[in-house]
Structure 1
């Protein structure tokens, strides 16, 4: 439709790869406390020390923190941990954690023969965890084949966020019965900055519900029941982001979540998490997502809530291209790459709808095989619920016309209050009306060659190439530090979690990374 110049598109991807490569090298050369904890979670550790005076401390944190204190994490956590299990004749990692909490374990890096034995035992344990992930992926495929996917695209994506997992289940079931295809459980505010994952089911949270393994299990089980009731597979989404990105990715794979928010720069820009920490963690988490068959959702829509949606449109395209390269390098295929963008142009701007169509169509044509996630208006929702409902209708229409894959339901009370169930019901009706009324309209939608929409799309792509060229010259980390994306300036040596980044030693061992890189099962 847009007649994009294939040479310009190829140049954009080449520049994105060149801009990303130095960061990939840094990610490969480092580990983090979260990567090491995720590895032990795959190896089977669960539970928490409930007797700690400051509150429950997950056993995985206890082990990783103590290993780091005793002998460092430059060699990885598995060799000292599994060597200690053998030395003390312990039957599980949980027993090891209990002994650690009691002060009975002194971790060390053993000699080479003992290290090889420990690494072999760790590989066996991690492989067992990955086989659970593999079984869950196969189970999802069976359920989709049996129950069917939603009959239309885009899929309808709706948020629940009560703070209580049991109440979330009630709202999610109601949403699925009303027509939602994907249920996203919003995390409690601030969880992305916790350097641990809470244990168990939770019944409190501010503006969201804690992401825990048990909460994942509860929601997935409930949506399996509803899937059988409504006759289509209902997907479940949560957040693999923040300081525990790798761990939450693992827990999502172990509990058969279907989608996870996972962006290469969101935590850096909007949560002030250290850039190196984020890039190391996102590479490992995306390898887990690739293994689990989990669709990731990236966060480019957030740039347009802090920067102008017209002036900064090309930064969205640049981020999408970078996210694509980081995803491919980690093993994620296009069909799992839910690149994000949003309907956030100020509605008072002349020709705003045509501009939105140009931006959305550019994303669709640049990434034809990716399940793009289209986000509704939030920045310019004023509290006028009637205008907000109309604006959401225009957003839904743009999604249909430009072939978006995942459509997050816009609420008329968005950014004003937490929407009531009645608001959600009206929002789903809005989406369903537009999807039904305009179902085949895309085949009649052909922007004029050289017209307003085509020219705008070409302009944004050209500006993206120019920015990528500058990023290649200056470096991606410097571009992030300069406020290139979302106007946020984040230096590479600053930010939360920086002290959790460790440079790997030559003898570093991590069976999870080895198995994920190779695709092996043993």
Structure 2
């Protein structure tokens, strides 16, 4: 099979009927969810709307202005009308700066007097005009990113993706520069531990974080500027990625779009399963965040690799495939084309088992064949890493080999000290050096390998696809929320009315106003 970038991977025979059925079932699953999404908004979506209107920064005690504003509306039961509506309402009354808008929101009664029809129509028209102007400015910034990418060109596939995560954004910049000079194509700044559980986005540059660096708009700006400078120095464009998940999915998506990031980790179910965030909250937030990503041309990276850190990679391989079909359908419904749907999977099979390379080839090639135009992101092993750094390095190289042969698009490089500490510069250098060797040595092997139709790889791929189809039949019958409650994904069960953030889910009122929905959903 020849990929869009010219690489050739081994042909994998698949039952086209099974593949078509999987996609139809995934669409049934997401259609049910989109009915819920269309009836609700969330506090985080409404904060995003205000950010899109230009309300950045923080007020008293460092609380973001958008939190102060939305909390006032939510406390008065007014959020169902949409923050955009009440913003137009107080602006027409003379409010101008963030402090005055927040104060006027706090002064609103629980049942404000309705506007006359002519005033109501004027308010909605004015808010829509402001939204279109804000969208034009965002588009301009996105186009500046794309122009630099075209000017400099990008590295060959698979892109070498490495992580920096010191806790200090300024130290992260120095580590990112060093990684780029050693051959990295994508720099990922891992968020500080548990930031996904914060119901606000910290403001400004940060220098203290545990296990990572806080995702803030200012930190995004600092790293993007540094990578632009380094890109011009090296003569190739460097991609930047961060994490749009948790209780502030869409807010981070907008901040990333505004500061010209290229990729975001953004999954439909990750926050539900692995952070115990309420299902309704996550599913509503992910849709709006993906609308923003589609508008801004940001590649999303989904999180199926996490399923096989909590479940056995070999036994649960089909859950990865089923989830990828669901994530693809959600992404399409949010306007993302295939070229922006970076589905994820990983090399997590137990190295003590027999034939792990053949079985991993089957999984990786199955993903590549099912989603030929998606920029697949392939994760390295983590679950079975040991303190033996020499074995760990060999283990990572095997993942690089599988990724190269099966035509993965983005290869997250493993570190030999994975899970021991944040990577040293030398760890990252060795990972990049090893990957460069694999890419040279195995460059044409994908075109040379022919699979036996009755061989282990082909049989394993068909078995996994068949199990994924059976799982999707069950999920389509029961509904996604019930399926998650039954631990169908990642061996993790969650309740529809449980988890964090449910109080921030609001049913939309008649006349709900979010003018960015029209802007983002326009063809």
| TM-score interval for Structure 1 and Structure 2 normalised by the shorter chain | over 0.9
Q: In 2, distance between residues paired with 1:71 and 1:390?
A: 58
The alignment status of 1:267 with 2:271, answered yes or no, reads: yes
Cα contact 1:47–1:94 (8 A) shared by 2: no
Secondary structure at 1:249's aligned position in 2? helix
Q: Deviations over 1:8-40 (max 9, x none)?
A: 110110111112211111011110000101011
The equivalences for 1:348-497 within 5 A come to: 348-497=352-501
| Equivalent residue, structure 2, for 1:78 | 84
| Equivalent residue, structure 2, for 1:42 | 52
| Equivalent residue, structure 2, for 1:313 | 317
Structure 2 counterpart of 1:141, from 130, 146, 149: 146
| Equivalent residue, structure 1, for 2:192 | 188
Q: In 1, distance between residues paired with 2:296 and 2:420?
A: 36
TM-score if structure 2 supplies the norm length?
0.96
Q: Deviations over 1:450-488 (max 9, x none)?
A: 210000000000000001011111111100011111111
Q: Deviations over 1:229-248 (max 9, x none)?
A: 11111010011110000111
Cα contact 2:29–2:476 (8 A) shared by 1: yes
TM-score if structure 1 supplies the norm length?
0.96
Cα shift at 1:194: 0.6
Cα shift at 1:263: 0.1
Structure 2 counterpart of 1:16, from 16, 26, 29: 26
Q: Deviations over 1:371-401 (max 9, x none)?
A: 0000000000011111100011100000000
Q: Deviations over 1:56-87 (max 9, x none)?
A: 11101111111122342111111112211211
| Equivalent residue, structure 2, for 1:91 | 96
| Equivalent residue, structure 1, for 2:68 | 62
The alignment status of 1:237 with 2:241, answered yes or no, reads: yes
Count of aligned residue pairs for this structure pair: 511
The alignment status of 1:504 with 2:514, answered yes or no, reads: no
Q: In 2, distance between residues paired with 1:469 and 1:129?
A: 42
Cα shift at 1:94: 5.2
Distance 1:104 1:492, change over 3 A: closer
Secondary structure at 2:80's aligned position in 1? coil
Cα shift at 1:93: 4.2
Q: In 1, distance between residues paired with 2:77 and 2:349?
A: 53
Cα shift at 1:7: 1.1
Secondary structure at 2:79's aligned position in 1? coil
Structure 2 counterpart of 1:4, from 2, 14, 31: 14
Structure 2 counterpart of 1:159, from 160, 163, 183: 163
The alignment status of 1:30 with 2:35, answered yes or no, reads: no
Cα shift at 1:295: 0.2
Moved over 4 A (4+): 103-107
The alignment status of 1:168 with 2:172, answered yes or no, reads: yes
Cα contact 2:164–2:423 (8 A) shared by 1: no
Q: In 2, distance between residues paired with 1:464 and 1:482?
A: 16
Cα contact 2:169–2:219 (8 A) shared by 1: yes
Q: Deviations over 1:177-204 (max 9, x none)?
A: 1100000000011110111111111111
Structure 2 counterpart of 1:278, from 282, 293, 296: 282
Cα contact 2:166–2:422 (8 A) shared by 1: no
Q: In 2, distance between residues paired with 1:84 and 1:141?
A: 37
Cα contact 1:39–1:126 (8 A) shared by 2: no
The alignment status of 1:199 with 2:203, answered yes or no, reads: yes
Secondary structure at 1:479's aligned position in 2? helix
The alignment status of 1:116 with 2:121, answered yes or no, reads: yes
Cα shift at 1:446: 1.9
Secondary structure at 1:247's aligned position in 2? helix
Secondary structure at 1:276's aligned position in 2? helix
Aligned-pair Cα RMSD in Å: 1.3
| Equivalent residue, structure 1, for 2:228 | 224
Q: In 2, distance between residues paired with 1:258 and 1:330?
A: 18
Moved more, 19-28 or 287-296: 19-28
Cα contact 1:227–1:234 (8 A) shared by 2: yes
